[in-house]
A and B are shown apart, each in its own frame.
Chain A
Amino acid sequence: MEFSSILFYVFGFCFVASSAMLVIARNTLKAAMLLILSFFSVASLWLLLEAEFLAITLILVYVGAVMVLFLFVIKMLNIDQSTIRAKFTTYLPLGIFVSLVVIAQIALVLSAGQFDLENVEEPARHIAGYSNITELATDLYTTYVYPFELAAVLLLIAIIAAITLVHRKDSRSKKQNISEQVSVQASERVRLASISSTKSKEPK
């Protein structure tokens, strides 16, 4: 067995095992950590497929940013496990129905015969010095430049919308105005009064 296939099986096992444990984990934080592990396993599998840029982006975006915010929310919310478990059975029939439909869909797609090993060419190894990023950038900024720009504008709109939703004037907030504080003059804050020390009233 080749060394890369050993790595493939190790990372594949990690991915499947962590995903399975993620579904059955009771602790939300533990489930989030298992999701991170499965992200890492997938990134390693992509590395084996010579898709380095995609693998690093997965870790950078999903593990480094999205899951951090996710954990943040989990920590801030005090999730009561018992109420969630009490409601679990009421959704059981719907859940079984949805999962059956999903399984049927996956079975239909996979049984169509286009995923057999014979139908898929073995990925060709690239020569040394082949740059994944150059290839990706050339495609992204020439052939697909308009979809790329559109996606960027869409994200910008989403950011602006999110900020305007949250950023309302609150009359109770005591926000400091830094430039006002910095540009303050001594004369605005302190009044120097000259009081002579000698002239005092004599006690009668």
Chain B
Amino acid sequence: MWQGFVDFVHQSLPWFDGGLAVVIIILIKGVTLILPLIIMMAYMTYAERKVIGYMQLRIGPNRVGPIGLLQPFADVFKMMFKEIIFPTKANVYLFVLAPILAFVPAIAIWAVIPLGQDFYITNLDISLLYVLAIGSVGVYGIILAGWASNSKYPLLGALRSASLLVSYEIVIGFVVVTVVMAASSVNLNEIVSSQSGGIWNWYWIPLFPMMIVFWISALAETNRAPFDVVEGESEIAGGTHVEYSGMCFALFFMAEYINMIMMAALAVLMFFGGWHSPFEGVPYLQEFFAFVPDIMWLLGKMSFFLFLYLWIRATFPRYRYDQIMRLCWKVFLPLTIVWIMVVALMTQLHLGPWF
């Protein structure tokens, strides 16, 4: 995707070689990925309000622009011009550091996520581990926000959420192990290319229970309903967000939605064949859909998972805290460990089209 641009820089600007060219190429690649991502995140908030609105027999935002399409921008400007209030006796450094620590890892993960055949910023050999590692850094934003706010509800929310995130990270780690065993690679590009060839070759069939476990854990990891104990509006009035206003809050908000998009992308890459068309190898449909660029398949599958986020939020009530922990440690963890054995057996037997 960016190869033409990189060649252009190297050929037309030979004096420009070395470190500076590398930095500028990385910067431009990053901007061309992050800008659409931010816009996607903005319209994710619009979609959330609209979809949940219709599910609850309301209309949702419909005043700003045609059918409310400019609503996200109105929200952005509102956030930008709001005053940032620092609580008395709060630790200002850590108070400002917290939203940054939540936002930066959410963006940094996208450095390794492949969006198409040759559409990625870096093809890291350990990209899946990188995603896990950087994803686990995001929890500091919540912990610090809870502590630095010098307030009771944020502290309660941070405590609940930190233990939840750490617990579900273990489950996600085990799920990732099964995918890595199936693909025998930690590279996301290779995981996707090992699923080539039609809907029956994707890993959602042999790893079906793991896909369910991954998706429920992804809901917990991104602090979404029914696991949104960090906010818990009805219990602790917004949790860690209570003391945050203006852009500081907006950073938390954006981090949450970008993480949601990332989890949807990860689910598609690991279980649903990434950018591969579901009709690969099907006689007539393959030629009929040949014109569709590979990124469109990825985005289409991702939007299903993003819709699932909203659907689940509109459907289920919030879990109680001890039920969440029980689900993680007593249900998911044994299930994943058993399925690791099953996958080991399946790979040894070279089962079906997958292994």
Is B163 on the interface with A (CB-CB < 8 A)?
yes
Task: Assign chain A's interface to a size class.
Answer: 20 to 34
Q: B51 → chain A, closest Cβ, in Å?
A: 32
Which residues of chain A (115-145) have a CB below 8 Å from chain B?
A: 131-133
**Binding-face segment, B52-60, B125-133, B205-213, B288-296:** B125-133
Closest to A71 in B: B143
Identify which of B18, B129, B147, B166 contacts A56 (C-beta below 8 A). Answer: B129
Task: Assign chain B's interface to a size class.
Answer: 20 to 34
> Which residues on A sit within 8 Å (CB–CB) of B126?
52-53, 56, 132-133
CB pair A36 B132 closer than 8 Å? no
Q: Is the interface of B mostly helix, strand, loop or mixed?
A: helix
Identify which of B19, B125, B139 contacts A3 (C-beta below 8 A). Answer: B19
CB pair A6 B19 closer than 8 Å? yes
**Assembled-state Cα–Cα distance A2/B137 (Å):** 30
CB pair B169 A64 closer than 8 Å? yes
Name, among A56, A132, A176, the residue most crowded by chain B CB atoms within 10 Å (CB to CB).
A56
CB pair A64 B163 closer than 8 Å? no
Is B186 on the interface with A (CB-CB < 8 A)?
yes
Q: What is the count of residue pairs linking A and B with beta-carbon distances less than 8 angstroms?
A: 80
User: With A27-B91, A33-B97, A64-B169 given, is the CB distance from A133 to B137 under 8 Å?
Assistant: no
> Which residues on B sit within 8 Å (CB–CB) of A176?
322
Closest to B184 in A: A134
**Assembled-state Cα–Cα distance A6/B20 (Å):** 11
Closest to A64 in B: B136
Is B159 on the interface with A (CB-CB < 8 A)?
yes
CB pair A3 B18 closer than 8 Å? yes
Is B124 on the interface with A (CB-CB < 8 A)?
yes
Which residues of chain A (40-79) have a CB below 8 Å from chain B?
A: 52-53, 56-57, 59-60, 63-65, 68-69, 71-72, 75-76
Q: A200 → chain B, closest Cβ, in Å?
A: 43
Identify which of B125, B130, B326 contacts A131 (C-beta below 8 A). Answer: B125
Is A94 on the interface with B (CB-CB < 8 A)?
no
Q: A108 → chain B, closest Cβ, in Å?
A: 37
Q: B137 → chain A, closest Cβ, in Å?
A: 6
Is A29 on the interface with B (CB-CB < 8 A)?
yes
Q: Mark B146-186, 1 if CB is under 8 A from A, else 0.
A: 11000000010011001100100100000000000000001
User: What 4 A-B pairs are tightest by C-beta distance, nearest first?
Assistant: A64-B136, A3-B19, A60-B133, A59-B133
